[in-house]
Amino acid sequence: MRYYKPMLAQSAEAPFSSKDWIFEIKWDGIRAISYINEEFSIRSRTQRELKYNFPELAELKKLAKDIVLDGEIIVLTEGQIDFQRLIERAQTNSAKTIKLLSKKFPATYVIFDILEKEGEPLLDLPLTERKKMLEEFVKEGKYVVLSIYVEEIGEAYYEAAIKRGMEGIIAKKKQSSYKPGRRSSDWLKIKKIKTCDCVIFGYTKGKKSRRETFGALILGLYSHATPLYVGKVGTGFSEAEMRKLIKVFEELQVKEGILSGADLPEDITWLKPELVCEVGYQSITREGKLRMPRFIRLRLDKMPRECTLDQIKPDTLQEYRSKSKFNKTSEPVGESRKQHNKYFVVHEHHARRLHYDLRLEKDGVLKSWAIPKGPPLETGDKRLAIETEDHPIEYSNFEGLIPEDEYGAGIVKIWDKGSYEELSWKENKIEFNVKGSKMRGLYVLLRFKKAGEKNWLLIKSKK
């Protein structure tokens, strides 16, 4: 049997409306992919078998055949989502208790995608076609329903969802394919408050009323295999939760931490990174830390390695993509990704006015500045550099004509290209050495705040 990992959504700043997207309720449950064929299985994101904890969902065997479905298991209490009852059911091992809870707090499986039919993967089909197949091949039952969605009116749908007590909505591109295990900008989660799932790597010593528990939890997220510090959270706990957590922590203590960037003055008790908690926050700082975090709950349904940095790291190519119609222009769509070798490119751009675009590879995209008079080549020369939207890595090789009526219409040529060494990259100052055919040596970008937030000075510095 072929097992799938669920496709994941990126976070969006605010609700929006678009004829190219559909919008669904964001359910607060356990993500589960079901396999209905000779063997029946419902598996969590961690590939844990859930059919024994939710026996009522065996109803699926009567409602569909030879199919693989994606959905969310939820529990409703008096018409409201009850996540704690859901987790209680998922953690129960007693057959007698499982039977009792399945009658007292029955689960509902909300299905929103189809991944396979009669052994044939359907991942590459557009979402709209997969939705039609869902309606054709899956019947609804007492415990199984199909997700209701609307087209275009995302803002109104979001407001209606929030009024009903839901945590938000999911926006999905109509033409999106299904990307197993990937967090894609084709799916966006839009919530009333921003949240992310973090790994608990330790805690600080409690003081005064908290001297018997802890002060704050040390949080981290994984960037590939490396855990990175993203902040600490000390609010949102009840006293009972804190006492319960400190008992759990006793069995997880280790001598040294493995969290990069957690250089804190407080005494930290380090823990094995085995616990996940959901944290609400206001925004992300320039240093990549959670601003005004607040503890929401433990997430016992998620594995630590699932808590990745891309939950809070924005897709910086969204602005670039929003300005271009890729069915008309040959410019690359691109995907944010890491590159080991840093390089730069300067484009000669014959748009409405001739200018030059400096692009530096950084964090998987090309950071870009428009230079009206071209890069300085003599030591001491200064040129205005206007910060523009990030471009995809593939743009470093782009040359061609951007059609009329498109953003940046005109001829684009590569004027210079090569590698560069990053010496310092701060909020208001970037220093780098370039090795190109025309640009060579030390350059400095200084933010020119008096002339506007996007304006910088590009200076050819001394060697």
Give burial (CB, 10 Å; 0-12/13-18/19+) of 45.
middle
Catalytic site residue from 5, 19, 26, 208: 26
- Please count the residues of the chain: 463
361 dihedral zone (left: phi>0; alpha: psi -120 to 50; beta): beta
Residue 69 tokens, joined? 């479905």
Distance CA 264, CA 249 (A): 20
Residue 414 main-chain phi, psi, to 5 deg = -80, 120
Distance CA 90, CA 102 (A): 11
Residue 128 main-chain phi, psi, to 5 deg = -60, -35
Give the contacts of 138 (CB within 8 A, at least 6 positions apart): 63, 64, 67, 69, 111, 114, 144, 146
Looking only at the bridges linking them, the beta strands covering 253-254 and 294-298 are: unpaired
CB-CB contact of 128 with 151 (8 Å): no
AA identity, residue 142: K
Q: How far apart are the first and last CA of the chain?
A: 62
CB-CB contact of 320 with 331 (8 Å): no
Distance CA 379, CA 106 (A): 73
Distance CA 268, CA 262 (A): 10
192 is annotated as an active-site residue = no
CA distances from 62 to 141, 198, 276, 415 (A): 9, 39, 36, 64
CA nearest to 203, candidates 219, 191, 187: 219
AA identity, residue 352: R
CA distances from 263 to 78, 213, 230, 431 (A): 47, 22, 11, 25
Distance CA 314, CA 21 (A): 19
Within 252-409, residue ranges assigned H as helices are 318-322
Active site residues: 26
